[in-house]
Amino acid sequence: MLLVPCPHCGPRNQSDLRLVGATVPRPDPNATTPEEWGDYLYLRDNPADWIEETWYCRAGCRRYFTLTRHQGTNEFRNPPMPGDKVGTATYTTISVGSSGSQPGANIEPHTTGGAS
Amino acid sequence: MAGIFRRNGAGDAPARYSAPQLARKGLTGEEWPRVWRDHEIKPAYDVIIIGGGVHGLATAYYLATNHGITNVAVLDKGYLGGGGSGRNTAIVRSNYLTPEGVAFYDRSLSLYNSMAADLNINVMFSERGHLTLAHTDSALRTMHWRAEVNKLQGIDSSVIDPDEVKKLAPSLDVSTHPRYPILGALYHPPGGIIRHDAVVWGYARGADHRGVHLHQKTEVLDILVEGGDGPGGKGAGGKVTGVRTNKGDISAPIVVNCTAGWGSLISNMAGVKLPINTHPLEAAVTEPVKVFLPTVVVSGSLHVYVSQTDRGELVFGASVDPLATYSMRGSLSFTEELAGHILELMPGISKMRLLRQWAGLCDMTPDYSPIMGFTPVEGHLTDVGWGTYGFKAGPVSGEQMAECIATNTTPKLIAPFALERFSTGQLVGEKGAAAVGH
Ligand SMILES: Cc1cc2nc3c(=O)[nH]c(=O)nc-3n(C[C@H](O)[C@H](O)[C@H](O)COP(=O)(O)OP(=O)(O)OC[C@H]3O[C@@H](n4cnc5c(N)ncnc54)[C@H](O)[C@@H]3O)c2cc1C
Ligand SMILES: [Zn+2]
């Protein structure tokens, strides 16, 4: 089992988290072709190399964030630590708003420190 | 296209495996001949197949046997059967959920049935029956759904109650005490297990003696493509000209990806992106004991399945590890969860000891169905997306991919599994029958 560096809780057992998958930019659903939308939903690079991916800390802080991991060796690059200052951290936290009618419509990635 | 293929010089037919041969070799101590031969790599082939697992070897075998196309090379970076084909738990069955899946896997089962005679090798196919347990109402509902789809297509498959389960597998705890009591099961008598290594060697031997070249320790580093839209002339609209390997370049107009867990890496080399994530799947085997478990038992809710080999070992498997990775390291959490879950089903085996555990790579697709046939790059075909269920599909995949290559058209049986389905949205949702069952 991996120790996953949660930017808020610190290293935690992998079973406390869920790997959501590779972080891919979401195109505007109103302005894409079905092919582009299919690509976004399904196609993945799946490299044996460094990959940006989204994790969900389901048994801890219950936040979503991005980490960089090597899919060949499982090493994390620049693992963030709780308390890292804004701007120095190399990770992204995605905050999920509680209102809004469109699922996912108010997911806006922003960089932040461990305190947010 | 059929006209472009040439014949390779076939070798001497290998000595047939037979009872008199066995007796003679047993008495005289005479060596058995090598199962397949080594060759120099030729500068060009008509077809290059990447991946020497059951899929690549079966494709080569049927190209030679059914279509007379023998100027074919199978390249593997390691040894034949070193991927999933030598690591799986060897369950074969056809009780899938979608009509497309059922028809496809049923054809494979019938090829497995005649395989020992066709390939002249003892594949030890044991048609012992397959039980998929239901522990919840919703699981039971899915079992009924599967049974109806199966029956409509003439597959022997039905839902049975806990008493009947107990008769088939007396070691199972069918009481109401467990946290997940057994409410019933989908029973599929034609399902069973087979000796996976013999299947791989049988196809390799058959392909070899028809003239196919098998090159081990030959790693594909790049696929050579001209005229595509993407960087370096790769990608949609391009045309394959060959491959670059650790032993030099080899030309070929047709390059087939049969690398399962490594499938994304190979198709990326041609500029074709696939809807695949690679996850490890772990399995384990116990010390041998007297045979007591007559059927294959699968529990989706408990993420575990078990069968007993002829030697008496219990073979266990689970669902894939949640981490997407190319690392094949085993994990303690797998062993712990496996032990906890299997004891819930069979409390009587608590004193048994595990001998080994291992992992293999699984190429998981969003709909738990494969990706077969042509891609936007001319000459680059895929036979990947085999996830945790691809061993049983080896024979039919080889047969259909060979037809696809030889006729340059997509055979009906594999048309639903085309890569395009991910842009047209016509997915073949097989999760309900493939997530743990393999
Ligand atoms: C633990 C476990 C249990 C399973 N249980 C079952 C089961 O009970 N029933 C079932 O039906 N399926 C099962 N499966 C799935 C099944 O094993 C696979 O789907 C199947 O073996 C895939 O076969 P293949 O020939 O496509 O690929 P593989 O056998 O994986 O072969 C791919 C080959 O490609 C080669 N390769 C990779 N990259 C390169 C390169 N760059 N150049 C050259 N060669 C390369 C590899 O060395 C490998 O030999 C299981 C899998 C695992 C891991
Ligand atoms: Zn956390």
Q: Which residue has the higher pLDDT, A84 or B299?
A: B299
Q: How confident is residue B438, by pLDDT bands cut at 50, 70 and 90?
A: low
* pLDDT (average), residues B281-303: 95
- Inside any domain, residue A113: no
* pLDDT (average), residues B339-363: 95
CATH number of B349's domain: 3.30.9.10
- Strand-pairing partners, residue A109, are A94
pLDDT tens by residue, B361-378 = 999 999 999 999 999 999
pLDDT of B433 > 60? The answer is yes
CATH number of A14's domain: 3.30.2270.10
Average pLDDT of chain A, as a whole number: 77
CB B241 within 8 Å of CB B250: no
Q: Which residue has the higher pLDDT, B12 or A35?
A: A35
- Inside any domain, residue A104: no
Distance CA B265, CA B256 (A): 13
- Inside any domain, residue A36: yes
Pick from A43, A48, A53: CB nearest B273: A43
Instruction: State which residue of chain A sits closest to B327, comparing Cα positions.
Output: A72
Distance CA B333, CA B234 (A): 42
**Predicted pLDDT at A103:** 38
- Inside any domain, residue B161: yes
Q: Which residue has the higher pLDDT, A96 or B73?
A: B73
Q: How confident is residue B436, by pLDDT bands cut at 50, 70 and 90?
A: low
Distance from CA of A83 to the nearest CA of B (A): 27
Distance CA B374, CA B401 (A): 10
Closest CA to B186 of B207, B155, B217: B155
pLDDT tens by residue, B5-30 = 655 555 556 678 999 999 999 999 98
* pLDDT (average), residues A39-51: 96
Q: Is A104 part of the contact surface with chain B (CB cutoff 8 Å)?
A: no
The total number of structural domains that make up chain A: 1
Q: Is B404 part of the contact surface with chain A (CB cutoff 8 Å)?
A: no
Distance CA A59, CA B322 (A): 15
Instruction: State which residue of chain A sits closest to B277, comparing Cα positions.
Output: A46
**Predicted pLDDT at B9:** 55
Question: In angstroms, what is the span from residue A12 Cα to ligand 2's centroid?
Answer: 8
Q: How confident is residue B220, by pLDDT bands cut at 50, 70 and 90?
A: very high
Please give the DSSP secondary-structure letter assigned to residue B236: T
- Inside any domain, residue A30: yes
Instruction: State which residue of chain B sits closest to A69, comparing Cα positions.
Output: B325
Q: Which ligand is nearest to the CA of A11?
A: 2
- Strand-pairing partners, residue A94, are A64, A109
- Inside any domain, residue B101: no
pLDDT of B42 > 70? The answer is yes
**Predicted pLDDT at B4:** 56
* pLDDT (average), residues B66-80: 98
- Inside any domain, residue B411: no
pLDDT tens by residue, B378-387 = 999 999 999 9
Q: Is A19 part of the contact surface with chain B (CB cutoff 8 Å)?
A: yes
pLDDT tens by residue, B83-120 = 999 999 999 999 999 999 999 999 999 999 999 999 99
Domain range for A44 is 3-91
- Inside any domain, residue B318: yes
- Inside any domain, residue B402: no
pLDDT of A51 > 60? The answer is yes
Domain range for B173 is 124-193+277-364
SS3 call for B245: strand
Query: What is the DSSP code string of A51-76?
Result: EEEEEE-TTTT--EEEEEEETTT-PB
Q: Which of A23, A33, A40, A46 to mutate to test the interface with B (most CBs of B within 10 A)?
A: A46
Distance from CA of A89 to the nearest CA of B (A): 24
Q: Could A34 and B425 be called an inter-chain contact, meaning their C-beta atoms sit closer than 8 Å?
A: yes
Q: Is A27 part of the contact surface with chain B (CB cutoff 8 Å)?
A: no
- Inside any domain, residue A116: no
Rg of chain B taking only CA atoms, in angstroms: 22
